[in-house]
Chain A
Amino acid sequence: MELYLKIAESRYDILQCHYLIAEVYNAVYDIVFSEDPANADPHSKIEPYPDLFLMALANEMLVAAVGLYTHTTYVERYGNVNPKDIAALLDSVKTKINYSPTHLREFSKMVVRPNWQGNGISLFLAGACHSAYFINRNAELPPLIVCCETRRLFQHFHKANGIRTRFIKSFPYYRVHEQYRSADNPMESHLIIPELDIPKKWHTLELPGWYRIGQDVVEKKNGVIQTNR
């Protein structure tokens, strides 16, 4: 399967992502969305949209998307994560880049169109979204990445793609997560320090670009072969 990955640019691109995300999240989790972040309410199951989107297209049709909050991230808004939490994790490592604990971006709302699921798209996209072309988009300085998801998803997507994540804290209970979190699969906030935690094959992945996805292999169409295992 060949996919064209690109960052949503036009209003049409962005709205396509909104519609796909809203349709999938509503069908699976009974969640609705608001274009105005001020209306978001995790108790009422009303979610805000991310600020940037990575699109996966097949035959010019959007088949999958993943979002990126570029400011006021979900873990800061609802997860009680503050700069001190991030600074404490940064203090324990050495990096060439001088990351700021207040400059965070966050992956969110990855969806695959229902009839395209089961083809390895989500695993590939979960790696591809760590491309510096996406996470650094319009950023003055390289940001830190945070994620909020279930423990199982961290294993399924990040670990499987060789991406290290660092536990920040457990995520408080909200009704909006009731259909996918459980006692044995809790929601957690994690930190990714791009310089240390993202494998080069993902961090340097070029966008936009054509990629061929097999069960075990991700191959850029121009011939540079990369594996996702």
Chain B
Amino acid sequence: MSDAGPRLGRPPARLVVGGTVAAVFLVLPPIALVVSAPWDRWWSIVTTPEAREALWLSAWTSTIAAGLCLVLGLPLAWLLARVTFPGRRWLRALVTVPLVLPPVVAGVALLSAFGRHGLVGAPLRELFGTQIPYTTTAVILAHTFVAMPFFVISLEGALRSTSARLEVAAASLGADRWTTFRRVTVPLAMPGLVAGLVLAWARSLGEFGATITFAGNYPGTTRTMPLDVYAALQADRDTAVALSVVLLAVCVLVLVALRERWWGVR
């Protein structure tokens, strides 16, 4: 059974051409990257302890960041979608700011807030002696900061499009707001939720500017894959390309594995 929809004739040429150009434009650089990789040395490059360390660091910090996006972003998206409160429009605009902020600027902003002399960081240091920059915590914070808007926007859209009347039905059946949220709202918004989470994870995996500015760059603690690639670029371009191929492979694998859920199509 074909899921191509009703037959409406041939697709217009200009759309096909435009789409093909776009596809080629997007697919060509990654393919060129793979082609130009030093395949004879590839395995030895990517299995060095430094490379493995960076990859592992990237993987688990991005996953935790995605988890934080879920835990914090879900309530926020729900509030923005379902509750009317004064200043809601402003809040929604502010939530998207990390999206448009250049990553390095985001890093500077994070320093101003959580750095050793930051608004929150300074008292934190004085009272508890804890410091956030140069730690892996800082990496996670930086990732979460830049990735959360992706998740919130995607989820808020999905929540808005779910029928609010279904929630009326649930309420009439005796479900309190939390039960309705758990059993009706979230399951129905799942495609948007998963898509948002994947976007957030992918964004966090590739995050560079905010991380290096706020968290620093040290192997094992804060040198994630993108930072490692940049460092390698300074010394040996081939190494950088080899490492980039690893990142590319990880991203493609995850995206392909989640493809069905991503589109939420049956």
A, B co-complexed: no
